Amino acid sequence: MDLKLSDPSLLKTSAYIDGQWISSDKTLDVIDPHSGRCIAQVAKMGAEQTQQAIEAAEAAFELWRAKTAKERSKLLRDWFNLIMQHEEDLAQILTAEQGKVLVEARGEIAYGANYIEWFAEEAKRVYGDTIPEPSADKRIVCIKQPVGVVACITPWNFPSAMLTRKIAPALAAGCTVVCKPASETPLSALVLAELAERAGIPAGVINIVVGSSSEIGPVLTDSPTVRKLTFTGSTEVGKKLVAACAKTLKKTSMELGGNAPFIVFADANLPSAIEGLLASKYRNSGQTCVCTNRVLIHQSVYDEFTQLLIKAIKERLVLGPGKDSKVTNGPLINTKARDSVAALVNESVKQGATIALGGDTDNLGDCFYPLTVLTDVTNEMPVACEEVFGPVASLLSFSTEEEAIQIANDTNVGLAAYFYTRDIGRVWRVGEALEYGIIGINEGIISNEMAPFGGVKESGSGREGSKYGMDDYLEIKYMCMGGIDQ
């Protein structure tokens, strides 16, 4: 292990259940995607420990919900402060297990912590309602209450922020949680639990189990005690989880895959669109759910934009190990991911796409895929139909606004979309016509804790962050008071 942390005790390799660190004979290797070396072995939990975690969360729920909103807010705020105090160590851990460059890892720690700060504030603003009565002898009051024990299942691409985005609103609302982080990136989850413990968040409120999804998943989905499942991950797994949750009619929030179009209209500010595209396409080496997947360029600026993009990539982006400060793009998470990107590119090339930059020629390491630009792409090719999840920009062309909207919407998912134009009428027309949950207009970076994040169609349901983000963790209770005029 070559991780050098200011506080080595932040590196936890046990599960966290009911305030206890639980070890096991069975372990799971955590691999550095750059070197391919095992950086830690984490205790693997199974069905029995997951059930224990659910029971711990159930027991803690009554005490946690009984705290005042201000008390919960203070504990969340203390947790946020500790995360920011240890930001550098958390970023080092994240880069080691996930591969993203350190500057992005630091950004993720701060971005994820911002959700805790935000929901610490929102905890105090869970307001109810009084509603005009239907008859003189009645009054209608609505209160909001926590849903109960929440299961959180998260992916490897943002192993810290995807978890805080769920735990923070859940705890602010008064819920307790059982979390299953992705097997590739458990360390970023466990360090959050360590800091929550140091912040004084009581035992059982946050529980983290690491292990096989086929053992842990069914315990979470089938348990009648778990009243809500919040999931971030692939659409394929999301559908299975929704089906499994139907048995107990749990509430679900699904943050699933995308196929983001990035539309460059003829009147766009091209240098600004290039900036937006570099950020939205190549961040985390293309492994974000809101990453641009298809670049739709008006035919009149297609060649010029393509050349500007290739020049910008060559001059500004550097592929390599995430901990190297000169590097802007790290490896993909594992060789399976790399092979999947290569297969999508190769099949699209067979169908007529042209490699204008990159392609399958890199030799930095097993998990690296080169920064790639494909031209002559059509919406039927695999790189356009499927979520590539790699550093490949696929360039399509269009001739009219209607055609751009039609191509953009011609997909079964709808998470993020981007477009660049200087025409205010077009801003409204296109913004309203795109079937997506998040729209970046002349902007490539759209996610922050103050705005609602989530998709439509098969990109899922529910919203994370913003004033709406708490709703998914609350039930509305309507109380009708009668006999008022007696």
Residues in the site for ligand NAP, rule: CB under 6 A? 153-158, 162, 180, 182-183, 213, 217, 232-234, 237, 240-241, 255-258, 289, 387, 415, 455
33 by Cβ neighbours in 10 Å (0-12 / 13-18 / 19+) ranks as: buried
What is the C-alpha to C-alpha distance for residues 486 and 468, in angstroms, rounded to an integer?
A: 39
What is the C-alpha to C-alpha distance for residues 136 and 486, in angstroms, rounded to an integer?
A: 10
Residue of 58, 184, 255, 449 marked catalytic: 255
> Does residue 38 have an active-site annotation?
no
Q: Can you name the residues that pair with 230 across neighbouring β-strands?
A: 152, 253
Q: How far is the CB of 217 from ligand NAP (least distance, A)?
A: 3
Q: b/e per residue, 190-221, with b = 16+ CB within 10 A?
A: bbbbbbbbebebbbbbbbbbbbeeebbbebbb
CB nearer to ligand NAP: pick between 174 and 440: 440
Q: How far is the CB of 232 from ligand NAP (least distance, A)?
A: 5
What is the C-alpha to C-alpha distance for residues 205 and 178, in angstroms, rounded to an integer?
A: 8
CB nearer to ligand NAP: pick between 237 and 433: 237
What is the C-alpha to C-alpha distance for residues 260 and 277, in angstroms, rounded to an integer?
A: 11
CB nearer to ligand NAP: pick between 72 and 165: 165
Residue of 175, 289, 367, 385 marked catalytic: 289
CB nearer to ligand NAP: pick between 237 and 279: 237
Q: How far is the CB of 42 from ligand NAP (least distance, A)?
A: 11
Q: In the structure encoding, which two tokens stand for residue 271, read together?
A: 């240098």
> Does residue 255 have an active-site annotation?
yes
Q: How far is the CB of 248 from ligand NAP (least distance, A)?
A: 15
CB nearer to ligand NAP: pick between 155 and 382: 155
CA dihedral 101, 103, 105, 106 (to 10 degrees): 160
What is the C-alpha to C-alpha distance for residues 339 and 367, in angstroms, rounded to an integer?
A: 9
Q: How far is the CB of 53 from ligand NAP (least distance, A)?
A: 15
CA 150, chain centre distance (Å): 17
What residues are labeled active site? Answer: 255, 289
